[in-house]
Amino acid sequence: MSRTIAYHRPFTLEEAVGLLESEGEAPRVLLGGGTIVNTGAVRQEVIDLQALGLNGINDEGGSVIIGAMATLQAVADDAAVPEAVREAAKAELPSTLRTVSTVGGTVGARSGESRLLATLLAFGGEVSCVGSAGPDQMPLATWLESGSGIITSITVESGGVAATAVTGRTPADVPIVAAVAHSSVDGVSLALTGVATTPVLVDPTSPTEGLTPFADFRGSIEYRLSVAATLSARVLAEVQA
């Protein structure tokens, strides 16, 4: 929990990076969503990227570049975005939060339960970011492990066939486990949520091998592995059919 003590709205990326590298406690980048709760003892400066023009969604022919500041609602509404990604963006949050939460914020939060992140992974997501060393680009999976800096966009493939299967307490619940498969000319990708601290790409031929899920009140390790195997089989069968 933190309390905002200063608000910055830079108008250039350079200015934003400069703020990030300022002396003392690094400011936090506001990427929308419910993660900023202004209570608690920790003082925090924040950087609002809304003026940087990072909210565009562009069809590049074979891929789609989604600006980091595009809201989940904008992603859900944009016909250029693959249907499975649109559905995942819509399912990520309810209406009043989806309109302020962004794709970049979702990537930055690295939630292991994010269906949208799993879908971006399955669609070959690439993260563009900028930091003190300048611009950089890396696979989303790599970013989830060790990425830093300001995310500027996420690029996903726009073709292929996808299937998603989820298990939750209710139809709109954050899935206990979700499986997303994407089949394209490059082969089949399979991503899972609920089985690691971040969503992960797994080997479609042995989806649960090597996984060490966390356990919580919604699902034990044994249960998560069982459901991951079941849902993986279902989505793989669907895309391969």
Partner 1 sequence: MSRIDITLELNGSTTTMGCEPHESLRSVLRRSGLVSVRFGSGTGETGSAGVLLDGVLVSADVVLAAQAHGHAVTTVESLNVTTGDMHPIQWAFVATGAMQSGFNAPAMVLGALALIERNPDPSEDEIRDMLSGILDRETGYVKPVEAIKRAAAVMRGETPEPFGVEILDAMTDGRNGIPHDPSSPVIDVPRSYPRLVPSRDVPTMNVVGKPEVKVDAVKLAKGNPAFTDDIEIRDMLYAKVLRSPHAHARIISIDDAAARALPGVRAVIHHENIERVKYASGGQSYPNPRPHDQVSFDNKVRHVGDRVAAVAADTIEIAEDAIGLIQVEYEVLPAIFDENLAMVDGAPVIHDEDDTSDITDQQRNIVHKILAERGDVSAAFSKAPKTYEQTFRVHQVQPAPIEPHISIAWLDSDERMVIRTATQVPFHTRRMIAPLLGMPIKDIRVIKPRIGGGFGAKQEMLIEDIAAHLAIATRQPVRLELTREEEFVSSRTRHPHTITFSTAVDHDGTLLAQNMRLIGNTGPYGTHGYTVQTVAGLRGLTSYNAKNKRFDCDVVYTNIPVPGAYRGYGAPQALFALESHMEDIADDLGIDAIEFRRKNWVKVGDELDIAPHLGEQGVAEEELDEYPKVSSNGIEECMAQGQRAIQWHRRDDPGWTAPAERPHIRRGIGFAFCMHGTAIPFLDMGGCSIKINDDGSFNMLVGATDLGTGADTVLGQIAAEVLGVPLDDIKVYSSDTDMTPFDTGAYASSTTYISGTAAMKAAQAVREQIKERAAKMLGIEEPCTIELKDKRAYAPDGNSVSLEDIALDSLHLDEQHQIMGTASFVSPDCPPPFAAQFAEIEVDIDTGQITVTKLVMAVDCGVAINPVTASGQVEGGMIQALGYGHCEEYALDETGKMVNASFGPYKIYRADEMPETEVYLIQTMEDSGPFGAKAIAEIPKDGVAPAIRNALVNATGTRMHAIPFTPERVWAAMNS
Query: What residues make contact with partner 1 under the rule CB under 8 A?
Result: 3-7, 9, 30, 32-34, 36-41, 46, 48, 50, 73, 90, 93-100, 167-174, 176, 216-220, 223, 226-227, 230-231
Q: How far is the CB of 221 from partner 1 (least distance, A)?
A: 11
In this complex, which beta carbon is closest to partner 1, that of residue 140 or of residue 227?
227
Question: In the beta sheet, which residues pair with residue 59?
Answer: 64
- Other CB atoms closer than 10 Å to residue 64's CB: what's the count? 22
Q: How far is the CB of 132 from partner 1 (least distance, A)?
A: 25
- Other CB atoms closer than 10 Å to residue 241's CB: what's the count? 8
Q: How far apart are CA 136 and CA 128, in angstroms?
A: 6
In this complex, which beta carbon is closest to partner 1, that of residue 146 or of residue 170?
170
Q: How far is the CB of 198 from partner 1 (least distance, A)?
A: 18
95, with CB counted inside 10 A (0-12, 13-18, 19+), is: exposed
In this complex, which beta carbon is closest to partner 1, that of residue 86 or of residue 126?
86
In this complex, which beta carbon is closest to partner 1, that of residue 28 or of residue 131?
28
Q: How far is the CB of 225 from partner 1 (least distance, A)?
A: 12
| DSSP helix/strand/coil, 126 | strand
Tokens at 139, concatenated? 């696979």
Q: How far apart are CA 212 and CA 69, in angstroms?
A: 33
Q: How far is the CB of 35 from partner 1 (least distance, A)?
A: 8
Pairing of strands 177-184, 187-193: antiparallel
In this complex, which beta carbon is closest to partner 1, that of residue 160 or of residue 219?
219
